[in-house]
Structure 1
Amino acid sequence: MRSEDGLLEIGFMRTVFDSLGAGVLVTDTTGRLTACNPRAAQLLGRPRDQMLGHDLHDLIHRRRDGGTVPRSECGLMAVLDSDVPAEGTDELFLRGDGSLVPVIWAATPLRHEGRSEGAVVVFHDFSLHRDAAEQTAAYLAALEGLTARLTMVAEVSTVLISASDTPQMLHRLAGLLVPDMGDWAAVDLRTSEQTGEMRRVVVRTSGDQRAADELTGLLPPLPESTRSAAIQALRSAEPVVLDAEALAEQPDSQLARAHRDLFERLGGSCAVVVPLHTRRKVFGALTVARVDPAASYTEAEVFVLSDLARRAGLVMEAAELFEQQRHVAETMQRQLLTPLPQVDHLTMAARYRPAESAAEIGGDWYDSFLLSDGVLTMVIGDVVGHDLKAAAHMAEVRNMLRALAWDRTEPPSLIIRRLDEAMTHTSDAPMATCVFARIEGPEGGPRQLRWVNAGHPPPLLVTADGRTSFLEAGHGPLLGLSSALHLGLGWPDARADLPPRSTLLLYTDGLVESRTRDIEAGLDSLRRHASALADRDIEDFLDELLDRIDPSGDDVALLALRVPQTGVGAGDDEAPLQHAHNPAAPGRGAPGSRVEDTPVRDTSEPS
């Protein structure tokens, strides 16, 4: 296959030329084709003899639209002028059937014995590689879009969970949808099942927000029959896509007219109306619109909006159920908080403030009643739990304590021991805290407090001159713990003098403890405010105390006793308190300071 001088024979070179897996084209110095291998003819879909002699550039080089590429922009022909090799991946060659094939190519000057003879162009069909690249790009674009939608869904879900009430949640939801999902968004709610009354609660726009706010307010009721696609979304609980044709229809009801006002005031060429619903109820509708005439909503976007509206509906249903539970629990508690007895000039007052959240309302209670021996009792308690079941258990524990205590003259510790055993063996009530106290002493005084404390915050005694003392004796385990676990624990009886004109305060932990404040700080705050209010009427004392502390989160129960002056008995009038708002009065600290404990006798007796 080699000649005597070592060169490859011409016949062998021809075989190599014809067998190459790439297309090969050879031109002369003017760009006319002088040779073409079979693979080139196959890729171009043209017989070789119909190509030879033709100008390569004019014959096959084309733009994406099929037009001819200016010769000055042809990289293949530039090789003939520059005598420098070139390559590229963004060229299209014209096939014999008129179709275009993308090619990857390389062109090299052809020199023979030092003279330029033309150029050699080698090329491959690049369509498979380009299709794969375009598919990858399309996949990445779709993935980016999906990621953006998932991010928005996550943000909206966070808003739905964290919003403190339904109006706040809907305002924040609309704010997240604009402008990502539309140029404006509006929420219309059904405010009455019976009358079909509607109210537009929020309109959010990327334009003039003041004009959008003017569109909120009361709407006409839901009509009995309508052709309006937007209103049908409320009835069918299915999403409705409004295009230009649907928006051009004449409204057939006042509510449809009010919905059309949104588009006339804010613009809109297309929109999606999705119901805010659950399986049980349709609460209203969310409308999201785009103004650009070329814009439209994809199936995926409609699905995302429908999903978000469904999530919002679930949150609204949960809020509604919580409010119903709150009402039932609060009603149950208020029915059990009976009127307070007024005995021997001992003035009593009580307050109950339900929790802000239905999830927190539950087991706080106060009580006061006369025993068979004429002694007055004071009770404050809190059953573990914050739900309707806790409220029911509270009623059970309260009634058991009344039944066990009313006809017995035995110490409070024995009453509490029997209550602990009763809770363990006859009730499914969980653990509870409680202070059970007897107000003892002859008519006209002096009077004593005798009590036990089952895991509850200590009572606070406030003297007439503003000194305070937490009564921390008499402390024992929670109710429902000792007997259930066979611990054999008890509750020591404690005694303390009740000075004339002093105030005894029993309270639940919601007054002094919250998620943002520990109980020690809460107790200190209670002591300071109670001291400053020592001279107030007992009713004002409780009202002012709640206003100043402003407890939040848990529910709160308060029970207060005002002791009369010494010698006041049946038929006597209690003299008014003389200490006014004098921060320099004896025993009173300056505003905000910690006052000293009054010397109150506080002893414990073993049960």
Structure 2
Amino acid sequence: MRAVRPRWTSHRQDEEPGHGEADGVPEAEFAREVLRDLGAGVLTLDTAGRVTSVNPWAERLLGRSAREMAGQDAHDLLHRNADGSRVPRERCTLRRPLYQAPAEEGSEEYFLRADGTTVPIIWTTTPLIRNGRRAGLVVVFHDFTLHRSAVEDTAARTAALETLTTRLHLLAEVSTVLITTESTQGTIRRLLRLLVPELGQWAAVDVCSAQRDVLERVAVRSSEHPHRARRLRGPVTSLPEPARVAVNRLINGDRPVRLTGDELLHDPDEPLAATHRVLFERLGGHTAVAVPLRTRGRSYGILTVARTGDSPAHTDAETALLADIGRRVGLVMDNARLYHEQQNVAETMQRQLLTPLPQVNHVRMAARYWPAESAMEVGGDWYDAFLLGDGVMALVIGDVVGHDLKAAAHMAEVRNMLRALAWDHQEPPSLVMHRLDEAVTNTSDAPMATVVFARVEGPEGGPWQLHWVNAGHPPPLLVMRDGETRFLEGGHGPLIGMSATLRLGLDWPDAREDLPPESILLLYTDGLVESRARPIDLGMAKLRHHAGVLARRLAGRSIDDFCDELLARIAPRGDDVALLALGLPAAGVGAPGDTRPPPPDQSTCSPADPERAAPGSRMQEPEVLDTTHDEAEEV
């Protein structure tokens, strides 16, 4: 060390020879060597705070020589804020041990280098005591730059990781919302609840309508003005040519567009003002990001998210996140479009297969088809009724495995095969069922099916008899006028497609049952009596109970009223339901010589009931309540 004023140590006059030496090195020289190689800067100050000595390490850290610093006020020369400004003397913590504190340390101070830059230091100041009195202090300091950079870098990485985690969590919530099975508009409104105020103070979704120059604002949400936001939903008026071009460019592009409130509100030539000015006028905001809802080469609309007040404009990362959300929404809308297109094809196909029922003399029939609540809302359930060549009425109820368009196609195959076989072969139902099993196994790829095939035999006016077989299907229900009910358990055999396929050699026994006058015969599929929440035994008991009650209560009413009331009471959920009901007249009605007119069939129903326009058959769908509006009204 270069001792400007050599006051590091003093020698006592009464020291014995050898004392004050370390391995033959004088004590003063040893202290200088230690301070020179200490690896930290060391300053000594006198009681006035002036520099009295500097070690070489401090010279290197500060870029100043010991001679240059000697005698200078250490605070005025070195102590600075991070920006290089002076620290007021009364706030100098390094000088405190000169007066009262025994020692001080810290890591939030800066020293000024000779080149004008500041260096962050971690430091310790200790009083220098001589003869029991404070004679100055010692300042030991290190360059804190590397450590502070590491701490700041760690903090920055932690903050970035927290931001990324938050965005991934938001994206996961968005994905959960988008995979729900509710209506598209309901899904979009739930999505905006996540985006506001997480990514903006208001958000809106505009969807393309059938008209090229009209948008439908299906959802608007604002955290600051919720009531105003709800009033902004609805069609966006016809757009002028510049606005239409700008909208088409946006929704057909792949990149987000940044919007500013000043331009939209004050620039008459801004093309998107026609669609977005009203949003900024009513909801406020300084900036926004508009992203296209687009996928698979199709455009569906625009998602706009805005910032208001002191909130900063969207960062590039937030804009990229919104663009990704826009693509996901576009995919959901595209899937909904494909679903509805396929659904319409399937429903049209099934409606064509569920043909009108024949009405023979005084015997009346009614049928209902209740589609499933989920999946393709179409499946393998069907009913059928037709006159055979010998004048006998044939009744069919069946169910092919599956709930999609393929199941409907297989149902059509089995239905048409059974019709052809029943017409061509005037033979007992058991033989017809055997031929059907062989035909399905060898000429079709349809899976297994359950079927009841029956013949209603008897002269005009009765008595009538039911002759049937049952291939693994729920048993028909016979309902008498007085409310007595009975399941027809006979005629049971294997499912269609099982015996011939597995070469089991099984058969279907014929069964017969007298049909009392004014009774009702019900053929139905398992969706009427079975659900996830209810086993089939309880469902069949419920069917039997309600059918008996309605037979007494609706005596004299039409078979259609009976079917409607029965479905309303049971309210099936989940699976498809097909129901075929045969209502027999009183004894002797319709016999030769009877002049009483037959009851009107469904083709002559009053216009007040337009759903019964199709003669003898009606597609009955469950009531679906649109709750999306109610959801959007919640604040």
Question: Do both proteins adopt the same fold according to a TM-score greater than 0.5, normalized to the shorter chain?
Answer: yes
Task: Verify: 1:158 aligned to 2:176, yes or no.
Answer: yes
TM-score when normalising by structure 2:
0.86
Q: Which residue of 2 aligns with 1:402?
A: 419
Question: Which residue among 210, 216, 230 is the counterpart of 2:233?
Answer: 216
1:33-112 alignment runs, 5 A limit: 33-112=51-130
Whether the 8 Å CA contact 1:44–1:95 is kept in 2: the answer is yes
Aligned-pair distance for 1:163? 4.2
Q: What is the identity, as a one-letter code, of the residue corresponding to 2:584?
A: V
Offset at 1:575? Answer: 9.3
Measure, in 1, the Cα distance between the counterparts of 2:331 and 2:500.
43
CA drift at 1:128: 0.8
Please tell me the root mean square deviation across aligned C-alpha atoms, in Å.
2.3
Tell me the TM-score normalized by structure 1. Answer: 0.89
Contact 1:221 1:255 in 2 (8 A): no
Structure 2 SS opposite 1:379: strand
Determine the C-alpha separation between the residues in 2 that align with 1:517 and 1:223.
58
Q: CA deviation at 1:222?
A: 5.2
- Alignment equivalent of 1:481, drawn from 457, 474, 498: 498
Counterparts of 2:71 and 2:63 in 1: how far apart (Å)?
17
Distance 1:100-1:231 versus aligned 2 partners, 3 A rule: farther
Indicate whether 1:565 and 2:582 are aligned.
no
Structure 2 spans left out of the alignment, 5+ residues: 1-15, 600-635
Secondary structure of 1:483's aligned partner:
helix
Q: Distance in 2 between matches of 1:520 and 1:240?
A: 61
- 1:47-68: CA deviations, max 9, x gaps? 2211111111221111223222
Per-residue deviation, 1:229? 5.4
CA-to-partner distance for each residue in 1:298-324, whole Å, 9 max, x for gaps?
111111111112111111111121111
Q: Report the Cα offset of residue 187 of structure 1.
A: 1.0
Change (3 A) 1:226 1:218: closer
Q: Does residue 1:547 correspond to 2:565, yes or no?
A: no
Distance 1:37 1:148, change over 3 A: same
Q: Percent identity?
A: 60
Match of 1:119 among 137, 140, 150: 137
Match of 1:132 in 2: 150
Alignment of 1:37-436 (within 5 A): 37-192=55-210, 194-221=211-238, 224-226=241-243, 232-244=249-261, 246-248=263-265, 250-251=267-268, 256-292=273-309, 295-357=312-374, 359-436=376-453
Deviations 1:406-427 (A, max 9, x none): 1323222222222122111111
Q: CA deviation at 1:554?
A: 2.8
Contact 1:222–1:255 at 8 Å: present in 2 too? no
2:361–2:598 CA contact under 8 A, matched in 1: no
The whole-number CA distance in structure 1 between the counterparts of 2:393 and 2:272 is 63
CA displacement, residues 306-354 of structure 1 (integer Å, 9 cap, x when unaligned)? 1112111111111121111111111111111222122352211112233
Q: Confirm or deny: 8 A CA contact 2:246 2:271 kept in the other structure.
A: no
After superposing the two structures, state which structure 1 stretch, 364-373 or 34-43, moved more. Answer: 364-373
Quote how far apart the aligned CAs of 1:113 are: 4.0
Task: Tell me, in whole angstroms, the C-alpha distance in 1 between the residues paired with 2:272 and 2:393.
Answer: 63
CA–CA separation in structure 2 for the residues paired with 1:560 and 1:3: 129
What SS does the aligned partner of 2:589 have? coil
SS at match of 1:64: coil
Letter in 1 for 2:283: L
Shift in Å at residue 116 of structure 1? 2.5
Deviation for aligned residue 1:209: 1.6
Q: Secondary structure at the match of 2:461?
A: coil
**Contact 1:273/1:285 (<8 A) preserved:** yes
Q: Distance in 2 between matches of 1:246 and 1:3?
A: 92
**SS of the residue aligned with 2:391?**
coil
The partner residue of 2:37 within 8, 19, 28 is: 19
Query: Which of 467, 488, 493 is residue 484 of structure 2 equivalent to?
Result: 467
User: Contact between 2:247 and 2:272, CA under 8 Å: does it hold in 1?
Assistant: no
| Contact 1:195 1:221 survives alignment (8 Å) | no
Q: Deviations over 1:549-578 (max 9, x none)?
A: 3333333221110112222234533899xx
Q: Is the 8 A contact 2:246 2:272 kept in 1?
A: no
Shift, 1:522, TM fit: 2.8
Task: In structure 2, give the amino acid aligned to 1:510.
Answer: G
Alpha-carbon distance in 2 for matches of 1:512, 1:457: 9
Query: Which amino acid in the other structure matches residue 170 of structure 1?
Result: I
Q: Is the partner of 2:19 in helix, strand or coil? A: coil
Q: Secondary structure at the match of 1:189?
A: strand
Matching of residues 496-575 of structure 1 within 5 Å: 496-534=513-551, 535=555, 536-570=557-591, 572=594, 573=596
Compare 199-208 and 7-16 and name the one that shifted more: 7-16
Distance in 1 separating the partners of 2:200 and 2:17: 78
Go from structure 1 to structure 2 and tell me whether the alpha carbon gap of 1:454 and 1:254 turns closer, same or farther (over 3 Å shift): farther
Please give the per-residue CA displacement for 1:512-570, whole angstroms capped at 9, x wherever unaligned.
23344433333233223222321231011112222333333333221110112222234
- Look up the SS of the partner of 2:279 in the other structure: helix
Looking at structure 2, the residues matched to 441 and 564 of structure 1 have their Cα atoms a distance apart, in angstroms, of: 13
Is the 1:355–1:556 contact (alpha carbons within 8 Å) kept by the matching residues of 2?
Answer: yes
Cα distance in 1, alignment partners of residues 397 and 191 from structure 2:
43
> What CA distance in whole angstroms lies between the structure 1 residues aligned with 2:432 and 2:151?
84
Unpaired stretches in structure 1, ≥5 consecutive residues: 577-607
Larger CA deviation: 60-69 vs 269-278: 60-69
Q: State how far apart, in whole Å, the 1-side matches of 2:381 and 2:35 are.
A: 98
Aligned to 1:484, the other structure's residue is in SS state: helix
Residue by residue over 1:158-187, the C-alpha shift from the partner in whole angstroms, topping out at 9 and shown as x without a partner, is 111114111110111111111111111111
Alpha-carbon distance in structure 1 between the residues aligned to 2:272 and 2:565:
48
Distance 1:545 1:280, change over 3 A: farther
SS in 2 for 1:438: strand
Higher mean C-alpha deviation, range 565-574 or range 323-332 = 565-574
Asked if structure 1 preserves the Cα contact closer than 8 Å seen for 2:292 and 2:302, the reply is: yes
Contact 1:323 1:358 (C-alpha < 8 Å) held by counterparts: no
Structure 1 residue 372: Cα displacement: 2.3
